[in-house]
Amino acid sequence: MEGKSLPYALPRPGERKRGMDGYLGYLLRQANAASSHALQEALADLGLTAPQFLVLTLVKAYPGQPAAQIARLALLTPQTLTVIVRNLERDGALTRTAPAAGRAISLNVTRAGEALLAQCRGRTAPLEARMAAGLSPEEESVVRRWLVRVATDFAVDGDGAPESS
């Protein structure tokens, strides 16, 4: 029995050592994993995964767009989008309609998909509130700005098309 008991003091989630002494990337990863997990759990009985919810929401917001466009919006590759769209189509939540022009395939949410989405929103609201809980408006603003900055600064995306002139 000797030596079995804790040669090291293993840190708990909030502890100093936890996260290689505070790598921001590590903390970001953990926070995202925890949040994704909670979302998945909240959506589980609706038969929808977190990425499916994301894609469905985007297609609903921008109907008729090609998959590549939605992929850019979601910061996902077209290949990943294809997988998610395939499963959503199989489940009857959205449709892929091959258009006359070019190769671009239009994505649209079905009525069943919209109903599903409406149910989802009820589940996500509490999570969102829980994430913002304990933050003052200024603090929340700091967090939001940081998240957006990291996402844009590190993205190779370059989806420009600045039609602003």
> Interface residues with DNA (CB under 7 A)?
1-2, 33, 37, 40-41, 49, 51-52, 66-69, 75-80, 82-84, 87, 101-105
Query: If binding is defined by CB under 8 A, does position 112 make contact with a copy of itself?
Result: no
Residues 6 or more apart whose Cβ sits within 8 Å of residue 52: 84, 87, 88, 93
Q: Could you tell me which stretch among 26-34, 81-89, 90-98, 107-115 binds a copy of itself (CB under 8 A)? A: 26-34
67, interface contact from DNA, a copy of itself, none, CB < 5-8 Å by kind: DNA
CB 114 to DNA: min, Å: 18
Choose which of 98, 118, 134, 137 interacts with a copy of itself (CB under 8 A).
134
- State how far the Cα of 42 lies from the Cα of 124, in Å rounded to an integer: 7
